[in-house]
Amino acid sequence: MRIRIVDAFTDRPFAGNPAGVLILDSFPDDGRLQNVAMEVNHAETAFAHPLPPGGEADWALRWFTPVTEVDLCGHATLATAHVLHTTGAHTGPVRFATRSGVLVATPAEDGSFTLDFPTAPLTPVALPDGVAQALGAEPLTAFDTGPNIGDLLVELPDEKTVHALRPDHKALGAHSRRGIIATARAENPALGYDYVSRCFFPNVGIDEDPVTGSAHTALAPYWSERLGRTSLTGLQASPRTGRVRTELRGERTLLGGRAVTVIEGDLLAW
């Protein structure tokens, strides 16, 4: 069985967010999927299998971190669409049946993809006690991001503060279902991005996620309202870095990016 490691939301290897991708005939029991994801040990490993023609989706898709299955993942969806197209397993837009409904990945002539995801509902909340101490910075605002994501979104005073974060990951885990999205307005939009973010997900086994597509379904409406534009670009300021193009369309958010296959090999134990 072929297994691939794909760097997503980047146009060069060893950047963006790596995901494992396996194309199957059907899903085995959950324990096998979790064991493979634990062995791959990236933020997510995606498993997909084809569905019968004529339905609302073309492929079934699931995502696992090293410790649990998740409801929504952008970078592993992008990585899976990239694998399906580069291997010839699928052409044209791909409709994925997932735990978050049908998600569509549409290819462009330049090799990039646009993902159609549900927009995260943002609800302002009081900043929980201990978040500022765990982050090492005092947020200006705090928002719940709804059931699909399960994060706490906080805005920090400036971009430098986001870059400088050295959080207490264990302490952060007490304040949301998945983790914390920390963001700030870009200091210099002339550099090609409108806002920055970093994402810390200790509750699903990921201290810091390199580039998080799902988080941008919350970042897009947050910054679109503040900046007065529906089309934006976010820089995720992790050590690997990556950029996500976002376009807010009401209850849907479009996420754009590229992907690069870095490793391809055989899965010998199954």
Residues 154 and 111 in one domain: no
The predicted model scores a pTM of 0.95
Q: In whole angstroms, what is the distance from residue 61 CA to residue 91 CA?
A: 17
The pLDDT mean for the chain works out to: 96
Count the domains in the chain.
2
Residues 81 and 99 in one domain: yes
Residues 162 and 245 in one domain: yes
Residues 224 and 112 in one domain: no
Residues 133 and 103 in one domain: no
pLDDT of residue 148: 87
Q: What is the pLDDT of residues 225-265, one digit of tens each?
A: 999 999 999 999 999 999 999 999 999 999 999 999 999 99
CB 269 within 8 A of CB 5: no
pLDDT of residue 151: 95
Q: Is 218 helix (H, G, I), strand (E, B) or coil?
A: helix
Q: What is the pLDDT of residues 87-98, one digit of tens each?
A: 999 999 999 999
pLDDT of residue 269: 86
Residues 112 and 129 in one domain: no
Determine which one of 39, 44, 138, 208 is catalytic: 44
Residues 110 and 127 in one domain: no
Q: In whole angstroms, what is the distance from residue 47 CA to residue 65 CA?
A: 12
pLDDT of residue 173: 87
Q: In whole angstroms, what is the distance from residue 63 CA to residue 70 CA?
A: 6
**At 203, is the pLDDT very low, low, confident or very high (cuts 50, 70, 90)?**
very high
49: domain CATH number is 3.10.310.10
Residues 260 and 183 in one domain: no
251 among known catalytic residues:
no
260 secondary structure, DSSP code: E
Q: Which domain holds residue 27?
A: 2-118+256-266
Q: In whole angstroms, what is the distance from residue 168 CA to residue 166 CA?
A: 7
Q: What is the pLDDT of residues 116-125, one digit of tens each?
A: 999 999 999 9
Residues 161 and 197 in one domain: yes
Tell me the mean pLDDT in the region 201-209: 93
CB 239 within 8 A of CB 139: no
Residues 71 and 157 in one domain: no
Residues 12 and 112 in one domain: yes
Using CB atoms within 10 Å of the CB of residue 265, give its burial: 0 to 12 exposed, 13 to 18 middle, 19+ buried: exposed
State residue 267 phi and psi, 5-degree precision: -85, 110
Q: In whole angstroms, what is the distance from residue 172 CA to residue 203 CA?
A: 9
Q: What is the pLDDT of residues 40-77, one digit of tens each?
A: 999 999 999 999 999 999 999 999 999 999 999 999 99
**At 136, is the pLDDT very low, low, confident or very high (cuts 50, 70, 90)?**
very high
Residues 191 and 228 in one domain: yes
SS3 string, 33-81, reads HHHHHHHHCCCEEEEEEECCCCCCCCEEEEEECCCCEECCCHHHHHHHH
